[in-house]
Structure 1
Amino acid sequence: MKLLVVGSGGREHAIAKKLLESQGVEQVFVAPGNDGMTLDGLDLVNIGISEHSKLIEFAKENDVAWSFIGPDDALAAGIVDDFNQAGLKAFGPSRLAAELEWSKDFAKEIMVKYGVPTAAYGTFSDFEEAKAYIEKQGAPIVVKADGLALGKGVVVAETVEQAVEAAQEMLLDNKFGDSGARVVIEEFLDGEEFSLFAFVNGDKFYILPTAQDHKRAYDGDKGPNTGGMGAYAPVPHLPQSVVDQSVETIIKLVLKGMIAEGRPYLGVLYAGLILTTDGPKVIEFNSRFGDPETQIILPRLTSDFAQNITDILDKKEPTITWLDEGVTLGVVVASEGYPLDYEKGVELPAKTDGDIITYYAGAKFAENSRALLSNGGRVYMLVTTADTVSAAQEKIYNQLKKQNTTGLFYRTDIGSKAVKN
């Protein structure tokens, strides 16, 4: 069986690597991928994620059994619809189902309509109205670009002035283009954040291990929001009762609502949740695997990944099993300056494997050699599994200390929230 993974980052590296380990999978293509992936035997396809017709033609010519769609913008552009119309299977939601992610206002409307717990909010396209709402509600308060913004369109404002400035940047200064033409302004929720994923086909869903992402660029959750600087799974101090409650009051209700709206969901549903004094509530939904959570969840999968997805696509009951001991933790290494301006072309350390996995997000071979160079904001991620969070941290950070990371940076406190609990 031949499979295609659409995307180019660390998430897609983890997905493709895990698929290639499956029995019966002879080849995994990644379009467009990045050069670091080839070190794991993955085959790159020089087709961009927006070139749907070319991807479809490639899948047909190469007898691809099904495709796994990684990025949010590809899903928002209707890539699954196009594949399906061409008679091809793809694991990911339709454009209408993916609106759970590409419109925060739509997601809020669904949650309110179907009783899914979330923060109180208002949606605005007029700056003066947004400003008045912020001044009435007070701070802290959260300002979000309505559309996709690469994980960076959220401002948790500690003062009214910060919130007004964020709304101005989105609505008047066009900071996020069309994605910020509307803003969703939410009440600030206090509590512990965690990620809950599910493989979904309609009303059938299969819950994955919990994870905790670290969004801020610097230690102590300081600095600007990024796409994610590290993560660990499962969250050891999160009771199973909280997961069970989240499934009953959030996952089941939103999937039921999507069916009722004529938008049945297929693919990976990502619920970004927060445990408040009133129970778990939704911060956001994503219509695909998270990055970097994918890189620390999939190594914990002990069943056949390709067979699991095949069964879900075919509406058969999959046998999904997970490692039930220890913790898997990963640290992202990024280009200095990320998520703002950064330089490319930094030579990267040698790939680690075995006990410590390297997943590449932004890597490219030098023109005249096989030396890997940085080619993006987030460059690579080291992942390991150990008995405890502390033991995993020690393994990863000892390895990073041995590496030459000049021109790069990483957080030194990934997983520390779990250690403190």
Structure 2
Amino acid sequence: MKILILGGGGREHAIGKKLLEDYHSIYLYFYPGNGGTSIIGKNIENYHTALDLGLFSKKNSIDITIVGSEIFLLEGVVDIFQNLGLKIVGPHYLAAKLEGNRIFSKTFMNKYGIRTPKYDIFYCYEKAINFLKKKTNSVAIKTNGIASGKGVILAHNPNDAKKALKNIMIKKKFGESGNQIVIEEFLQGKEASIIALFNGKDIIPFLSAKDYKKIGENEKGMNTGGMGAIVPNPHMTNSIWIDFKKNILEPTLEGLIMEKLTFFGFLYFGLMITYNKVYLLEYNTRIGDPEAQTLFPLMKSNFLNIIQSSFQHKSISIDWKKLCSCCVVLSSRGYPEKYESGKIITGVNSLKEPFYIAGAKKKQEKWITSSGRVLNIVGIGKTIQEARIKAYDQVQKIQFDNLYFRKDIGL
């Protein structure tokens, strides 16, 4: 069997490793991939559009394609592959707007009574400024486009709000994704991520996760693509799970079916838990990163069997190990803004599984940094505390110039 995985980070390396763990005989292709994926499969090159990738898959008899990165979804890759008669895991373009267009997503939530923070939509800088002048509470200012997971700025006073608005709408810090914005009520609480499989009829949740999005410890500083994660999330109690299913998951399923947004792929619920209620902050229409790297080592079920069962319209259940995991992201200092690449990494060969390459490549038998997030180190234990100790013990084996990581993942 031949499987193509679209994306080039730690998530895609984790998907590939899990598939190989379940079936040693499959052949993996990655686009664009990284240094880790090149060891477990083949990184393909010179395919610049979704159509190029579709034609490659047709020519090379790819059995299944799994979309890791949202970039491909927003280019309509699923529609193109399906038109070519190819099997692909991911949402079609319209469903992918649940992630790629916050105004579309918020309108969907509002229509189907999905509990979400109060919000206002703005297309004009002056109107947004006038609105903020009347606000005394903290707000979340969000670009309409997702801006690689970095287009959310929390403003706790009028000056911060004005500065954020100027950076987004005037200086175009996040490009075209900031042409329209959402100003949202700020909720104080605990964040949670629920990744689920959607087979067009049912939404099957994975274990809960907690993602650490800020670059600094104690959730300070800029948003990143994620600096670490733990599974399960200790704040997802039984009562919160019940609340989530009733007020978020079930109305989401109703809306997806009513709006003909059905697909086979993944749905990510970004949640805020506050005052014993759970609110939906955002959808992603793919597996989260670094949640994927934290979840897959705990998945007892055969992942390829789950995917094939979905294509065959069979019922799905997922079994999990009764363990905990902690993922620590090692990054280049300066990320998510300016950072240097090309630094030699030592210690990779002494790491024990599970670990995943994110932004590194192999050059003349040496590992070299190639992106902002470089490595994902995962610890597994009976408790979160045991898992984080194991993860940080492994972290000590890695060295490269300008290495940075948060020291509070799982605390």
Letter in 1 for 2:23: Q
d(CA) in 1 for partners of 2:222, 2:192 = 19
Letter in 1 for 2:309: D
Where does residue 168 of structure 1 map in the other structure? 166
Tell me the alpha carbon deviations over residues 23-54 of structure 1, each in whole angstroms, 9 at most, x when there is no partner: 37521111110112233x22211245x52122
d(CA) in 2 for partners of 1:305, 1:125 = 43
d(CA) in 1 for partners of 2:232, 2:278 = 17
Instruction: Report SS of the residue matched to 1:342.
Output: coil
Where does residue 22 of structure 1 map in the other structure? 22
Tell me the alpha carbon deviations over residues 150-207 of structure 1, each in whole angstroms, 9 at most, x when there is no partner: 1110001111111121112111111111100000000001111100111002221211
Residue 412 in structure 1 maps to residue 407 in structure 2: yes
Instruction: Report SS of the residue matched to 1:131.
Output: helix
Letter in 1 for 2:259: E
d(CA) in 1 for partners of 2:397, 2:276 = 45
Residue 144 in structure 1 maps to residue 142 in structure 2: yes
Tell me the alpha carbon deviations over residues 390-420 of structure 1, each in whole angstroms, 9 at most, x when there is no partner: 111211212222332432110000011xxxx
d(CA) in 2 for partners of 1:81, 1:213 = 30
Where does residue 377 of structure 1 map in the other structure? 372
d(CA) in 2 for partners of 1:382, 1:251 = 31
d(CA) in 2 for partners of 1:403, 1:278 = 40
Structure 1's consecutive aligned runs of 4 or more residues displaced over 3 angstroms after TM superposition are: 352-356
Please give the TM-score of this superposition, normalised by the length of structure 1. 0.94
d(CA) in 2 for partners of 1:37, 1:109 = 38
1:235-384 to structure 2, matched below 5 A, reads 235-277=233-275, 279-323=277-321, 325-351=322-348, 355-366=352-363, 369-384=364-379
Letter in 1 for 2:319: T
Letter in 2 for 1:175: K
Where does residue 392 of structure 1 map in the other structure? 387
| 1:222 alignment partner, one of 220, 223, 236 | 220
Structural RMSD (CA): 1.6
* Segment of structure 1 superposing worse, 351-360 or 255-264: 351-360
Q: Is contact 2:141–2:184 with CA below 8 Å preserved after alignment?
A: yes
d(CA) in 2 for partners of 1:47, 1:22 = 30
Instruction: Report SS of the residue matched to 1:208.
Output: strand
d(CA) in 2 for partners of 1:164, 1:313 = 49
Q: Is contact 1:149–1:176 with CA below 8 Å preserved after alignment?
A: yes
d(CA) in 1 for partners of 2:310, 2:347 = 37
The number of equivalent residue pairs is: 411
d(CA) in 2 for partners of 1:262, 1:351 = 46
Where does residue 419 of structure 1 map in the other structure? none
Where does residue 44 of structure 2 map in the other structure? 45
Unmatched runs of 5 consecutive residues or more in structure 1: 417-421
Unmatched runs of 5 consecutive residues or more in structure 2: none
> Cα–Cα, structure 1 residues 232 and 128, in superposed 2: closer, same or farther, change >3 Å?
same
> Cα–Cα, structure 1 residues 24 and 373, in superposed 2: closer, same or farther, change >3 Å?
closer
Q: Is contact 2:140–2:152 with CA below 8 Å preserved after alignment?
A: yes
Query: Alignment identity in percent?
Result: 36
Where does residue 212 of structure 1 map in the other structure? 210
